[in-house]
Amino acid sequence: MTSFRAPRGTFDLLPPRSEHILAVREGLAAPARRAGYRYVETPALEDTALFVRGVGDSTDVVTKEMYTFTTRGGDSLSLRPEGTAPVVRAALEHALDKGALPAKLWYAGSFYRYERPQAGRYRHFSQVGAEALGTEDPAVDAELVILAADAYAGVGLRGVRLLLNSLGDQRCRPAYRSALQEFLRGLRLDADTRARVERNPLRVLDDKRSEVQEQLHDAPLPGDWLCAECTAHHETVRELLGDAGIAFTDAPSLVRGLDYYTRTTFEFVHDGLGAQSAVGGGGRYDGLSESIGGPSLPGVGWALGVERTLLTLEAEGVELALPRPVDVFAVPVGEKAARVLFGLVTALRRAGVAADIAYGGRGLKGAMKAADRSGAAYAVVVGDRDLADGVAQLKELSTGQQRSVPLADVVDTLREALR
């Protein structure tokens, strides 16, 4: 024991739950990988200004939740609170925008937000994300939504609902924004919210407090102000989703927390999560590149919360199909047998069989217990008598059946048996 603890809002992942997280992460990424998205990794740290300009200086994520510090060299860096601005930054830095478009990228990693910790809300959490850069084609919006829906289905999640909206673009959004501001200025709101009306009025639609929500019934909605191009874009996305058999709910007041979204926005929600119902979300961000000083580079993407997906799977009682940690567990009785089995375990591993061995000169009983605990399908037991006969005892742990196999044949026999 030590008095040190993982910092508040963070957690350690230990087996077997760590393996569930790994399986969820791999499962969520699988559909995007099958669709030609390539892996990208960016640093956990970025210039603070990237997020201030890219995510928006009036968002909670940037104003209240970033871990920001000054380096010894005097630079202001922040732990990344999200992945899209970093990916767009990296794409521009490495001129992916000059290459084959769309650039389709996926990532998985840790993100950091100084939020009030509660179930499903942490200060350090992990996301799988996918981004398609360099096209306005609504088919790519639909592709990404389908991939996210398939990702949840692929890990076995059933009760996830898709909310869909369009926020308009730089042509129609300004008029909508003004109309919304005019409406909001007429409401009874506290000083903070009134300030938000001036800086980021769309976010007020997202205010969870009932005293705010009950005044918003007649608020103008983005959908009523879409220009012809945005309407056509949105219609195509809706049709393609329908054709793919993806169920969705139109959510006219869905705005989401980050400033950079244009046109398509969506969120995946699950009712088994309590207050933190969002398991993932995303949308189109055609203005993001320019807001961080880049050229015009339209993009669309999503980020799916790994821990929240696992929590919802647990809430639904879904058992993840996990590979056995090891297939074979070696039980040596005596020092000579330990030598021989050590070599055999290495040979098994090199032959592609997951294998482990009892260490520390444990007796037969303790070592057999370790074999059972390991989850292996077979134990290989060797003692002095076996060595003299040149054999090993293969024990099938589920049935207790045991047979004697020449030592030289153990690798091939096990490889066959485990096929």
Residues that bind ligand AMP (CB under 6 A): 82, 113, 115, 120-122, 125, 127, 257, 278-281, 303, 305, 307-308
Contact status, residue 47 vs residue 77, Cβ threshold 8 Å:
yes
Contact status, residue 106 vs residue 33, Cβ threshold 8 Å:
yes
* Helix ranges, 217-363 (H): 228-243, 288-291, 306-316, 335-350
Q: Which residue is nearest to ligand AMP (CB)?
A: 305
Q: Which of 203, 196, 250, 210 is nearest to 226 (CA)?
A: 250
**Strand order of the sheet with strand 328-332?**
355-357, 328-332, 378-382, 391-396, 402-406
Is residue 187 left, alpha or beta, with left meaning phi > 0 and alpha meaning psi from -120 to 50? Answer: beta
- What angle (nearest 5°) sits at the alpha carbon of residue 320, between those of residues 110 and 394? 115
**b/e sequence 318-357, b meaning 16+ C-beta within 10 Å:** eebeeeeebbbbbbbbbeebbebbeebbeebeeeebbbbb
Nearer to ligand AMP, 109 or 280 (CB): 280
Nearer to ligand AMP, 50 or 328 (CB): 50
Nearer to ligand AMP, 60 or 356 (CB): 60
The strand pairing partners of 105, in sequence order, are 38, 131
Q: How far is the CB of 303 from ligand AMP (least distance, A)?
A: 4
Q: How far is the CB of 352 from ligand AMP (least distance, A)?
A: 36
Q: How far is the CB of 60 from ligand AMP (least distance, A)?
A: 10
Nearer to ligand AMP, 311 or 357 (CB): 311
Q: How far is the CB of 33 from ligand AMP (least distance, A)?
A: 19
Q: How far is the CB of 280 from ligand AMP (least distance, A)?
A: 5
Q: How far is the CB of 14 from ligand AMP (least distance, A)?
A: 18
Q: H or E segment at 193?
A: helix 191-199
Nearer to ligand AMP, 288 or 379 (CB): 288
Nearer to ligand AMP, 258 or 331 (CB): 258
SS3 state of residue 328: strand
CA–CA gap between residue 315 and residue 370 (Å, rounded): 31
Q: How far is the CB of 48 from ligand AMP (least distance, A)?
A: 18
Contact status, residue 269 vs residue 278, Cβ threshold 8 Å:
yes
CA–CA gap between residue 189 and residue 299 (Å, rounded): 35
SS3 state of residue 319: coil
Contact status, residue 412 vs residue 362, Cβ threshold 8 Å:
no
Q: How many CB atoms lie within 10 A of CB 408?
A: 11
Nearer to ligand AMP, 173 or 308 (CB): 308
Q: Which residue has the tokens 């002095």?
A: 384
The pair of structure tokens assigned to 46 is 């970025």
Q: How far is the CB of 309 from ligand AMP (least distance, A)?
A: 7
Nearer to ligand AMP, 41 or 224 (CB): 41
Nearer to ligand AMP, 180 or 269 (CB): 269
Task: Output the CA torsion sign for 150, 151, 155, 159.
Answer: negative
Nearer to ligand AMP, 126 or 289 (CB): 126
Contact status, residue 266 vs residue 163, Cβ threshold 8 Å:
yes
Q: How far is the CB of 120 from ligand AMP (least distance, A)?
A: 6
Q: How far is the CB of 146 from ligand AMP (least distance, A)?
A: 18
SS3 state of residue 168: coil
